[in-house]
Amino acid sequence: MGVERTEIEMAYRVMLGREPLDEETEIWRNAESISELRRAFIESAEFKSDFLKYNPAQNAWKPPIERKHLPVEWQTEPETQAALLAYVQTTWTKLGLEEPHWSVLASEDWKASNIEKNKVYFYQSGARDTALISAILSRHEAVPESFGRVLEYGCGVGRVTLHLASMFAHVTAVDISRSHLALAEAELHAHGATNVAFVQAELPDFGMTAPFDLWFTRIVLQHNPPPVIAMILRRMFACLAPGGLAIFQLCTYVPGYRFSVADYLGQPKQGEIEVHCLPQQIVFQLAQEAGCLCLEVTPDNGMPPPWASDVFVFHKTPPA
Protein backbone atom coordinates (compact mmCIF):
# COMPACT_ATOMS: atom_id res chain seq x y z
CA MET A 1 0.00 0.00 0.00
CA GLY A 2 2.87 2.40 0.79
CA VAL A 3 2.85 5.60 2.82
CA GLU A 4 2.34 9.23 1.89
CA ARG A 5 4.91 12.00 2.32
CA THR A 6 2.65 13.78 4.84
CA GLU A 7 2.49 10.59 6.96
CA ILE A 8 6.30 10.35 6.98
CA GLU A 9 6.65 14.00 7.96
CA MET A 10 4.13 13.53 10.79
CA ALA A 11 6.01 10.47 12.05
CA TYR A 12 9.24 12.45 12.28
CA ARG A 13 7.52 15.35 14.07
CA VAL A 14 5.66 13.20 16.60
CA MET A 15 8.25 10.48 17.27
CA LEU A 16 11.57 12.26 16.74
CA GLY A 17 10.60 15.89 17.24
CA ARG A 18 12.16 17.12 14.00
CA GLU A 19 11.56 17.50 10.29
CA PRO A 20 12.88 14.73 8.01
CA LEU A 21 15.71 15.28 5.55
CA ASP A 22 14.69 14.98 1.89
CA GLU A 23 16.62 11.73 1.51
CA GLU A 24 14.94 10.28 4.61
CA THR A 25 11.52 11.05 3.16
CA GLU A 26 12.42 9.27 -0.07
CA ILE A 27 13.70 6.22 1.79
CA TRP A 28 10.50 5.80 3.81
CA ARG A 29 8.22 6.30 0.81
CA ASN A 30 8.98 2.63 0.15
CA ALA A 31 7.61 1.43 3.50
CA GLU A 32 4.74 -0.99 2.94
CA SER A 33 2.44 0.39 5.63
CA ILE A 34 2.06 2.80 8.54
CA SER A 35 2.59 -0.18 10.88
CA GLU A 36 5.96 -0.90 9.32
CA LEU A 37 6.92 2.77 9.58
CA ARG A 38 5.87 2.96 13.24
CA ARG A 39 7.76 -0.22 14.13
CA ALA A 40 10.93 1.03 12.44
CA PHE A 41 10.78 4.36 14.31
CA ILE A 42 10.22 2.70 17.70
CA GLU A 43 13.22 0.42 17.14
CA SER A 44 15.51 3.21 15.92
CA ALA A 45 18.45 4.42 18.03
CA GLU A 46 17.32 8.03 17.63
CA PHE A 47 13.87 7.36 19.11
CA LYS A 48 15.25 5.24 21.95
CA SER A 49 17.80 7.92 22.78
CA ASP A 50 15.11 10.54 23.41
CA PHE A 51 12.54 8.15 24.90
CA LEU A 52 14.93 6.69 27.47
CA LYS A 53 15.85 10.15 28.74
CA TYR A 54 12.21 10.95 29.55
CA ASN A 55 10.91 10.44 33.09
CA PRO A 56 7.09 10.03 32.95
CA ALA A 57 6.75 10.16 36.75
CA GLN A 58 8.28 13.62 36.89
CA ASN A 59 6.98 14.66 33.49
CA ALA A 60 10.44 16.09 32.82
CA TRP A 61 13.67 15.29 31.05
CA LYS A 62 16.34 13.61 33.14
CA PRO A 63 19.42 15.73 33.86
CA PRO A 64 22.60 15.06 31.89
CA ILE A 65 24.78 12.15 32.95
CA GLU A 66 27.22 13.01 35.73
CA ARG A 67 30.46 11.73 34.29
CA LYS A 68 33.00 10.20 36.66
CA HIS A 69 36.59 9.10 36.15
CA LEU A 70 36.87 5.90 34.12
CA PRO A 71 39.82 3.57 34.81
CA VAL A 72 40.89 3.00 31.21
CA GLU A 73 44.28 1.56 30.25
CA TRP A 74 45.02 2.97 26.83
CA GLN A 75 48.81 2.91 26.35
CA THR A 76 50.48 -0.45 25.63
CA GLU A 77 53.60 -2.06 24.23
CA PRO A 78 53.90 -2.86 20.47
CA GLU A 79 53.41 -6.61 21.02
CA THR A 80 50.19 -5.99 22.91
CA GLN A 81 49.02 -3.53 20.28
CA ALA A 82 49.49 -6.17 17.61
CA ALA A 83 47.53 -8.75 19.63
CA LEU A 84 44.62 -6.36 20.16
CA LEU A 85 44.48 -5.35 16.52
CA ALA A 86 44.69 -8.97 15.35
CA TYR A 87 41.59 -9.81 17.37
CA VAL A 88 39.68 -6.83 15.98
CA GLN A 89 40.68 -7.78 12.44
CA THR A 90 39.64 -11.43 12.88
CA THR A 91 36.26 -10.43 14.30
CA TRP A 92 35.40 -7.94 11.56
CA THR A 93 36.68 -10.09 8.70
CA LYS A 94 34.39 -12.88 9.93
CA LEU A 95 31.46 -10.48 10.19
CA GLY A 96 32.22 -9.24 6.68
CA LEU A 97 31.89 -12.78 5.36
CA GLU A 98 28.75 -13.67 7.31
CA GLU A 99 26.71 -10.49 7.95
CA PRO A 100 28.51 -7.58 6.27
CA HIS A 101 25.67 -5.05 6.03
CA TRP A 102 24.15 -5.90 9.42
CA SER A 103 27.59 -5.46 11.02
CA VAL A 104 27.55 -1.85 9.79
CA LEU A 105 24.00 -1.04 10.96
CA ALA A 106 22.38 -3.58 13.27
CA SER A 107 18.87 -3.93 11.85
CA GLU A 108 17.00 -6.99 10.68
CA ASP A 109 16.50 -5.22 7.35
CA TRP A 110 20.23 -5.45 6.71
CA LYS A 111 20.64 -9.15 7.57
CA ALA A 112 22.05 -11.34 4.79
CA SER A 113 18.60 -12.91 4.35
CA ASN A 114 16.96 -9.51 3.76
CA ILE A 115 19.62 -7.27 2.26
CA GLU A 116 18.88 -7.81 -1.42
CA LYS A 117 15.39 -6.34 -1.16
CA ASN A 118 16.62 -3.53 1.10
CA LYS A 119 20.07 -2.73 -0.31
CA VAL A 120 18.95 0.51 -1.99
CA TYR A 121 17.66 1.90 1.33
CA PHE A 122 20.79 0.73 3.15
CA TYR A 123 23.06 2.74 0.87
CA GLN A 124 20.73 5.72 0.80
CA SER A 125 21.06 5.95 4.59
CA GLY A 126 24.69 7.02 4.15
CA ALA A 127 23.48 10.42 2.98
CA ARG A 128 22.79 11.30 6.60
CA ASP A 129 26.51 11.20 7.35
CA THR A 130 27.38 13.52 4.48
CA ALA A 131 24.59 15.83 5.65
CA LEU A 132 26.34 15.91 9.04
CA ILE A 133 29.64 16.77 7.36
CA SER A 134 27.98 19.49 5.27
CA ALA A 135 26.44 21.07 8.37
CA ILE A 136 29.77 21.07 10.20
CA LEU A 137 31.63 22.57 7.25
CA SER A 138 28.97 25.26 6.93
CA ARG A 139 29.24 26.15 10.63
CA HIS A 140 32.96 26.70 10.19
CA GLU A 141 32.62 28.56 6.88
CA ALA A 142 34.30 25.83 4.83
CA VAL A 143 33.28 24.19 1.55
CA PRO A 144 33.89 20.63 0.26
CA GLU A 145 36.05 21.95 -2.59
CA SER A 146 38.65 23.01 -0.01
CA PHE A 147 39.37 19.38 0.91
CA GLY A 148 41.08 17.63 -1.98
CA ARG A 149 42.16 14.57 0.00
CA VAL A 150 39.53 12.89 2.18
CA LEU A 151 40.05 9.75 4.25
CA GLU A 152 37.14 7.73 5.59
CA TYR A 153 38.19 5.38 8.36
CA GLY A 154 36.10 2.25 8.81
CA CYS A 155 34.32 2.43 5.46
CA GLY A 156 32.70 -0.98 5.90
CA VAL A 157 30.79 -1.92 2.76
CA GLY A 158 30.84 1.64 1.37
CA ARG A 159 27.53 2.89 2.79
CA VAL A 160 28.91 6.40 3.38
CA THR A 161 31.77 6.15 0.88
CA LEU A 162 29.29 6.24 -1.99
CA HIS A 163 28.09 9.68 -0.88
CA LEU A 164 31.54 10.99 -0.01
CA ALA A 165 32.64 10.16 -3.56
CA SER A 166 29.97 12.54 -4.88
CA MET A 167 30.93 15.27 -2.44
CA PHE A 168 34.74 15.33 -2.62
CA ALA A 169 37.38 15.14 -5.37
CA HIS A 170 39.24 12.13 -3.98
CA VAL A 171 38.43 9.69 -1.19
CA THR A 172 40.60 7.04 0.45
CA ALA A 173 38.36 4.41 2.07
CA VAL A 174 40.09 2.44 4.84
CA ASP A 175 38.87 -0.61 6.73
CA ILE A 176 40.44 -3.32 8.84
CA SER A 177 38.36 -6.05 7.17
CA ARG A 178 39.34 -7.24 3.71
CA SER A 179 35.90 -8.87 3.31
CA HIS A 180 34.15 -5.54 3.91
CA LEU A 181 36.54 -3.72 1.58
CA ALA A 182 35.83 -6.14 -1.26
CA LEU A 183 32.08 -5.45 -1.02
CA ALA A 184 32.65 -1.70 -0.79
CA GLU A 185 34.88 -1.70 -3.84
CA ALA A 186 32.34 -3.71 -5.85
CA GLU A 187 29.50 -1.37 -4.84
CA LEU A 188 31.41 1.79 -5.75
CA HIS A 189 32.47 0.23 -9.06
CA ALA A 190 28.84 -0.63 -9.82
CA HIS A 191 27.95 3.05 -9.32
CA GLY A 192 30.77 4.21 -11.57
CA ALA A 193 32.76 5.94 -8.83
CA THR A 194 36.36 6.29 -10.03
CA ASN A 195 37.72 8.69 -7.39
CA VAL A 196 37.98 6.24 -4.47
CA ALA A 197 41.03 4.24 -3.35
CA PHE A 198 40.53 1.30 -0.98
CA VAL A 199 43.16 0.50 1.66
CA GLN A 200 43.30 -2.09 4.44
CA ALA A 201 44.10 -0.82 7.94
CA GLU A 202 47.17 -2.56 9.31
CA LEU A 203 49.99 -1.79 11.72
CA PRO A 204 51.93 0.41 11.97
CA ASP A 205 50.05 3.11 10.00
CA PHE A 206 46.42 1.88 10.02
CA GLY A 207 46.13 2.53 6.30
CA MET A 208 47.10 6.18 6.73
CA THR A 209 50.27 6.47 4.66
CA ALA A 210 50.00 10.01 3.27
CA PRO A 211 48.64 13.38 4.45
CA PHE A 212 44.93 14.13 4.06
CA ASP A 213 42.83 17.27 4.38
CA LEU A 214 39.68 15.80 5.94
CA TRP A 215 39.29 12.71 8.13
CA PHE A 216 35.87 11.23 8.86
CA THR A 217 34.58 8.27 10.80
CA ARG A 218 31.31 7.50 12.57
CA ILE A 219 30.05 4.45 14.54
CA VAL A 220 33.46 2.82 14.01
CA LEU A 221 35.99 3.76 16.69
CA GLN A 222 33.82 2.53 19.56
CA HIS A 223 34.11 -1.05 18.29
CA ASN A 224 37.84 -1.11 19.12
CA PRO A 225 39.49 -1.53 22.54
CA PRO A 226 40.71 1.81 23.97
CA PRO A 227 44.42 1.24 23.14
CA VAL A 228 43.48 0.64 19.48
CA ILE A 229 41.25 3.74 19.40
CA ALA A 230 44.13 5.78 20.80
CA MET A 231 46.57 4.38 18.22
CA ILE A 232 44.20 5.20 15.37
CA LEU A 233 43.65 8.76 16.63
CA ARG A 234 47.35 9.37 17.23
CA ARG A 235 48.17 8.26 13.69
CA MET A 236 45.30 10.32 12.29
CA PHE A 237 46.34 13.52 14.06
CA ALA A 238 49.91 13.01 12.82
CA CYS A 239 48.80 12.57 9.18
CA LEU A 240 46.20 15.36 9.15
CA ALA A 241 47.57 18.11 6.90
CA PRO A 242 48.01 21.64 8.30
CA GLY A 243 44.70 23.45 7.91
CA GLY A 244 42.85 20.12 7.75
CA LEU A 245 39.77 18.97 9.67
CA ALA A 246 39.05 15.76 11.57
CA ILE A 247 35.37 14.92 12.12
CA PHE A 248 34.69 11.80 14.14
CA GLN A 249 32.21 10.20 16.52
CA LEU A 250 33.25 8.29 19.60
CA CYS A 251 31.70 6.84 22.76
CA THR A 252 33.37 8.67 25.64
CA TYR A 253 31.48 7.53 28.74
CA VAL A 254 29.15 4.93 30.20
CA PRO A 255 28.69 4.40 33.96
CA GLY A 256 30.85 1.62 35.35
CA TYR A 257 33.08 1.17 32.29
CA ARG A 258 36.67 0.10 32.89
CA PHE A 259 39.37 -1.41 30.67
CA SER A 260 42.41 -3.46 31.62
CA VAL A 261 44.55 -4.91 28.82
CA ALA A 262 45.48 -8.01 30.85
CA ASP A 263 41.86 -8.70 31.81
CA TYR A 264 40.69 -8.16 28.24
CA LEU A 265 43.25 -10.45 26.64
CA GLY A 266 42.69 -13.02 29.36
CA GLN A 267 38.99 -13.36 28.62
CA PRO A 268 37.64 -15.83 26.04
CA LYS A 269 36.55 -14.01 22.87
CA GLN A 270 33.25 -14.77 21.14
CA GLY A 271 33.87 -12.84 17.92
CA GLU A 272 31.01 -10.47 18.69
CA ILE A 273 30.66 -6.72 18.13
CA GLU A 274 32.01 -4.88 21.16
CA VAL A 275 31.47 -1.29 22.31
CA HIS A 276 34.20 0.61 24.17
CA CYS A 277 34.86 4.12 25.51
CA LEU A 278 37.77 6.48 25.26
CA PRO A 279 37.32 9.39 27.71
CA GLN A 280 37.34 12.91 26.30
CA GLN A 281 40.48 13.96 28.17
CA ILE A 282 42.51 11.30 26.32
CA VAL A 283 41.18 12.53 22.97
CA PHE A 284 42.20 16.09 23.88
CA GLN A 285 45.64 14.92 25.00
CA LEU A 286 46.28 13.16 21.70
CA ALA A 287 45.10 16.20 19.75
CA GLN A 288 47.29 18.56 21.73
CA GLU A 289 50.36 16.41 21.03
CA ALA A 290 49.81 16.97 17.30
CA GLY A 291 48.98 20.67 17.47
CA CYS A 292 45.27 20.24 16.76
CA LEU A 293 42.62 22.64 18.05
CA CYS A 294 39.18 21.43 19.10
CA LEU A 295 36.50 23.42 17.29
CA GLU A 296 33.47 21.67 18.79
CA VAL A 297 32.22 18.62 20.68
CA THR A 298 28.56 17.79 20.08
CA PRO A 299 26.42 15.03 21.68
CA ASP A 300 25.45 12.38 19.15
CA ASN A 301 23.03 9.45 19.01
CA GLY A 302 25.72 6.97 17.95
CA MET A 303 24.71 4.89 20.99
CA PRO A 304 21.58 5.00 23.17
CA PRO A 305 21.72 6.12 26.82
CA PRO A 306 23.34 5.55 29.23
CA TRP A 307 26.22 5.63 26.72
CA ALA A 308 27.57 9.09 25.98
CA SER A 309 28.49 9.53 22.32
CA ASP A 310 30.13 12.69 20.98
CA VAL A 311 31.07 14.11 17.59
CA PHE A 312 34.45 15.87 17.68
CA VAL A 313 35.72 18.44 15.18
CA PHE A 314 39.45 19.24 15.26
CA HIS A 315 41.46 21.67 13.15
CA LYS A 316 45.19 21.26 12.61
CA THR A 317 46.79 24.64 13.03
CA PRO A 318 49.14 25.59 10.18
CA PRO A 319 52.71 26.38 11.29
CA ALA A 320 53.33 30.02 12.14
* 139/133 Cα distance (integer angstroms): 10
Res. 294: pLDDT tops 60: yes
* pLDDT at residue number 214: 98
Residues 276-292: pLDDT tens digits?
999 999 999 999 999 99
Res. 139: pLDDT tops 50: yes
**3-class secondary-structure state, position 259:** strand
Residues 244-277: pLDDT tens digits?
999 999 999 998 999 999 999 988 777 788 999 9
Q: How far is CA 28 from CA 93, 133, 159, 239, 262, in A?
A: 31, 22, 17, 39, 46
* 206/211 Cα distance (integer angstroms): 13
Segment 166-174 shows an average pLDDT of 97
Q: How far is CA 3 from CA 9, 11, 29, 120, 125, in A?
A: 11, 11, 6, 18, 18
Asked if 95 contacts 177 with a C-beta cutoff of 8 angstroms, the reply is yes
Domains located in the chain, CATH noted: 5-61 (no CATH), 78-316 (3.40.50.150)
Q: How many residues can be counted in the chain? A: 320
Residues 84-127: pLDDT tens digits?
999 999 999 999 999 999 999 888 888 999 999 999 999 999 99
* 319/291 Cα distance (integer angstroms): 9
The residues facing 169 across adjacent strands are none
